Chain A
Amino acid sequence: QKEVEQDPGPLSVPEGAIVSLNCTYSNSAFQYFMWYRQYSRKGPELLMYTYSSGNKEDGRFTAQVDKSSKYISLFIRDSQPSDSATYLCAMSEYQGAQKLVFGQGTRLTINP
């Protein structure tokens, strides 16, 4: 079993839709949770960073962490074609961006 599981998609939705992306994990020691966006042939860029359980909102993006279920989510409201990318969840036991364990990534396409 992989430490972090993420549905690779692809996921295709119409512009304006709410997108839900999810990851599950097996290591209960993970405390730091991140979502990255990766455009084709580019390195990942950090979207959201959350510590422990709870919600965090930043503009159209909301990250949720449920440590009891070992489940994290990223919601994108009012999705735009420019949101089309691969979204990777990542998590770590350690503060300070050490030893990140990534999910497989979900390829998302927003259709105009």
Chain B
Amino acid sequence: GAVVSQHPSWVICKSGTSVKIECRSLDFQATTMFWYRQFPKQSLMLMATSNEGSKATYEQGVEKDKFLINHASLTLSTLTVTSAHPEDSSFYICSATPLRGPAAYNEQFFGPGTRLTVL
């Protein structure tokens, strides 16, 4: 149980294009979903926190107009990297906190990540 998937697992795009990454909780409803970015040999950095039906809360230094987050349902959140540039190349990981059950509100379950390469 508590499986989170991401799609695509890797993507290569040209500079200036937009890329959408999906995050789904497969067997549970999520109260909150989180988006992280991980550069090589660096720690996961929280980008934003999103709740279904409301605007995402972005961390300081993260451009909300560049990283668009849509949390359409209790099982799906999307991150769109708009006008991507090579410096946006990174590993993007989402996580979700269950709405019910023993881990409700207390644990983040992580997706496998999406590797974005911008040429």
Given contacts A97-B106, A97-B108, A100-B108, contact A44 B41 (CB under 8 A): no
A46 contacts the other chain (CB 8 A):
yes
Number of A interface residues at 8 Å Cβ cutoff, please give it.
23
Contact A97 B44 (CB under 8 A): no
- Please count the residue pairs between chain A and chain B whose beta carbons lie under 8 angstroms apart in the complex: 53
Contact B105 A97 (CB under 8 A): yes
Contact B97 A97 (CB under 8 A): yes
Given contacts A43-B4, A103-B43, A104-B41, contact A96 B105 (CB under 8 A): yes
A42–B48 Cα distance when bound, in Å, is: 20
Contact B43 A43 (CB under 8 A): no
Contact A43 B97 (CB under 8 A): no
A88–B45 Cα distance when bound, in Å, is: 12
A contacts with B: majority SS: loop
Residues of B close to A44: CB separation below 8 A:
44, 93, 110
A74–B49 Cα distance when bound, in Å, is: 28
A88–B4 Cα distance when bound, in Å, is: 19
Given contacts A4-B43, A102-B44, contact A42 B108 (CB under 8 A): no
Contact B113 A42 (CB under 8 A): yes
B44, B97, B107, B111 interface centre (most CB from chain A within 10 Å)? B44
B residues 8-65 in Cβ contact with A at 8 Å = 9, 32, 34, 41-46, 49
Residues of B close to A6: CB separation below 8 A:
43
A residues 45-91 in Cβ contact with B at 8 Å = 45-46, 49, 88
Residues of B close to A49: CB separation below 8 A:
107
Residues of A close to B46: CB separation below 8 A:
99-101
A95 contacts the other chain (CB 8 A):
yes
A binding-site residues for B, Cβ under 8 Å: 4, 6, 8, 36, 41-46, 49, 88, 95-105
List of 4 A-B pairs having minimum Cβ-Cβ separation, nearest first: A43-B110, A102-B43, A102-B44, A97-B108
List, sorted by A's number, 13 A–B pairs whose CB atoms are closer than 8 Å.
A4-B43, A41-B112, A42-B113, A43-B6, A43-B113, A46-B107, A46-B108, A88-B43, A97-B97, A97-B105, A97-B107, A102-B44, A104-B42
